[in-house]
A = this chain, B = another copy of it.
Amino acid sequence: MPQLRQDPVTDNWVIIATERSKRPHDFPVYRENRRGPENCPFCSGKEECTPPELWAYREAGSQPDQPGWWVRVVPNKFPALKIEGSSERQREGIYQTMDGVGAHEVIIETPEHEADFSRLGLEQVKEIIRIWRDRYQDLRRDHRLKYIQIFKNFGSVAGASLEHPHSQLIATPMVPPGFWEELRGIQRHASDTGRCIVCDLVEHETQKEERVFVRSDRFIALCPYASRFPFETWILPREHRHDFGSISEPEIEDLAGVMRASLHKLGTALQSPPYNLVLHTAPVNVDGVEQYHWRIEVIPRLTIVAGFEWGTGYYINPTTPEIAAESMREALMQ
């Protein structure tokens, strides 16, 4: 019998499709046609191919837009949003419009083209998280910006147009409606019980263990109860934290280990599937959002989102999170 499961934060339902049940080896293995480092604008030595760098961690004495960096941030060459312009709304007949004000940056995660993000050294992953935090803290000082979205598309099926390891940041002048939907769910639970539903979820999952597959003192990685996608993964701070931008140094060190192990295990269990990694955190320059509890979502692209999902917002997941988490626990770090 198919099962419907409800997300405890948003109250949305997910269909766990037992009639179409899929285990890890049932998914097709996706093989990327790699183009190699030739003409790659993100490689060390090709700094002139990107817009001037915004920020980098680089060797003492090395110059901006020259080699010597190990993590480097540049503006996106084809930005979805731009920093110039006005966030004033204009009417166009019955419609409303505004300038596409915001920021769109690329975080080049390593100078090495062929590096695999999930197998980078632990120190390098810490540096990537630190530079995410730095850009986050810098951009939030622009009071026109209301939300900072950090994400990573891995593999062309997941939307990556360049194969050199990189993540992206887009800052928008408005708060995504999905954030308010989650916050409403959290506030509903808090006014009923006085507690944060996400803290409750972390505690419940930590005790049960069936959906958890990596943990440290400060973070936990699990496949959520109402997973919309096979092997959907959430990485959560175990203590209540609403704002990614104020992550502490010990938290960065813990998160690096949990994130690296999670992606490494995913790559082993499913043979390097394409995926999207997405930060969900509180908006910036907006009051009253401290009840939110931030997380990172990793969504492997194993199924196709089609007409039913577009029409209803309900997802059909052929793999239970319990089976997915079991595979992830068994996947060894190689």
Chain A residues 240-281 with CB under 8 Å of chain B are 276-280
Question: Which of the segments A51-59, A118-126, A172-180, A284-292 contacts the partner chain?
Answer: A172-180
Does A70 make an interface contact (CB < 8 A)?
no
User: What is the interface of chain A, defined by CB distance below 8 A to chain B?
Assistant: 1-6, 8, 10-13, 15-20, 78-82, 84-85, 89, 92-101, 147, 149, 151-153, 157-160, 168, 170, 172-174, 176-178, 181, 197, 200-201, 204, 208, 225-226, 276-280, 297, 299, 304-308, 310-314, 316
**B residues in contact with A100, CB < 8 Å:** 1-4, 15-18
Contact A19 B78 (CB under 8 A): yes
Q: How far is the CB of A298 from chain B (nearest CB, A)?
A: 10
Contact B276 A12 (CB under 8 A): no
Copies of this protein in the complex: 2
Please list 30 pairs of residues, one from A and one from B, whose beta carbons are closer than 8 Å in the complex, sorted by A's number: A1-B99, A2-B79, A3-B98, A4-B98, A5-B95, A5-B96, A5-B97, A8-B96, A10-B177, A11-B177, A12-B177, A15-B100, A17-B78, A19-B78, A19-B82, A20-B80, A80-B308, A93-B208, A94-B197, A94-B200, A94-B201, A149-B312, A151-B307, A151-B310, A158-B307, A159-B306, A170-B308, A170-B312, A176-B314, A277-B307
Q: How far is the CB of A315 from chain B (nearest CB, A)?
A: 10
Query: Considering the chains assembled together, what is the distance between the CA atoms of A92 and B176 in angstroms?
Result: 31
Contact A158 B81 (CB under 8 A): no
**B residues in contact with A297, CB < 8 Å:** 310-311
